[in-house]
Structure 1
Amino acid sequence: MEKTLKLGDKEYRLHSSLFTIIDYRNVFSTELFSDIKKLEKTKIKKESDLSTAIDTIFRIIYILQRPFNKQSYNDFLMSLDFSILSNHSELENLTNTIGEMLGTFQKGDSPKHPSKSK
């Protein structure tokens, strides 16, 4: 699946396939769907929880845009404006896009709230 995501003033072309799972493991040495499960179960109670959630979300976006852009993860993060984190509609679009790209929910469905996950 391919999709374009707008973050701030930049557009990112995203691609998901079975290779996404392998590439995520090769780059970050963790399992994609395990990290998503942890993210779904996270209840943000302290700053370290928030930092971990943000890192996981942007790792996923990084891997999804990687077929079109070979920059390092650090360079990718440095290219993003900090104001993205305070823009509710962009964050919602970001999480919805991840869900659609990875098949965790279909367009129009609501992502599960972390505190309501099983």
Structure 2
Amino acid sequence: MKLLIRRDQRAGLLGKMIFTLDVRADLSADEKERIRKYKLQDAELYASHEITGGSGLLGAASRLAYKAVSLTLTVRDLEGGKRIEVKDVVELLAIEDQIREAARTFKAVLDAASHFGGEEVLEL
């Protein structure tokens, strides 16, 4: 798996800078097969925040509103590519760092999945 990252910027409507991060994974055929086999497409790799919210109708409304503005990255997003836009370069770099770490962890999961049903020999 290769993680492709592209940073860019553009001016917003009021002249304020908007920073963009495009991320996409370049996956091998074997990795794609493991994702399909273990149904990992909807696995969440990154979420900007967690919400516990209230219950009932008001809680549901607040969770829906929160979901509209929160940022999540799933395996499906990583496969197809995702653009993230923020108004602060520090936030962009923090998100990028967390996505890099999540991709490393996910690569380890895919590697481990290739050894189920067999054995692995490690030279120490």
Q: TM-score, normalised by structure 1?
A: 0.31
Q: Name the structure with the higher strand share.
A: 2
Q: Name the structure with the higher helix share.
A: 1
Q: TM-score, normalised by structure 2?
A: 0.30
Who wins on radius of gyration, i.e. which is larger?
A: 2
